[in-house]
Amino acid sequence: KNEVEQSPQNLTAQEGEFITINCSYSVGISALHWLQQHPGGGIVSLFMLSSGKKKHGRLIATINIQEKHSSLHITASHPRDSAVYICAVAGGTSYGKLTFGQGTILTVHP
């Protein structure tokens, strides 16, 4: 069973700061997902990646397969970025069976 650890568990930032959330996993994967859960509870997929780096607006996700580690970066953070960020991995050929981290609670103050 793949273990997924996220750090930090809680993160508070001032508007405009650069934010990094980390995710480590224990065994080989086919893909890693970053999800965002809004304060109202809805879950949105931000990125799915199996190698390298992806960018969408102010969000950047990177993965290092050899080190079994991924990072989610938010540049120029804004209060609307306040949410829970969740890392999840799909192992081997089990494409749909995701194992989730516990999430990182991000609060951005104006």
Partner 1 sequence: NAGVTQTPKFRILKIGQSMTLQCTQDMNHNYMYWYRQDPGMGLKLIYYSVGAGITDKGEVPNGYNVSRSTTEDFPLRLELAAPSQTSVYFCASSYVRGYQETQYFGPGTRLLVL
Site residues for partner 1 per CB under 8 A: 4, 30-31, 33, 35, 41-45, 48, 86, 88, 90, 95-98, 100-103
Please give the span between the terminal C-alpha atoms of the chain, in angstroms, as a whole number. Answer: 40
C-beta separation of 61 from 79 below 8 A:
no
Smallest distance from partner 1 to CB 40, Å = 9
Smallest distance from partner 1 to CB 105, Å = 10
For residues 104 and 55, give the distance between their C-alpha atoms in angstroms, rounded to a whole number.
20
Tokens of 72: 């989610």
- Of 14 and 51, the one with the shorter C-beta distance to partner 1 is 51
- Of 13 and 87, the one with the shorter C-beta distance to partner 1 is 87
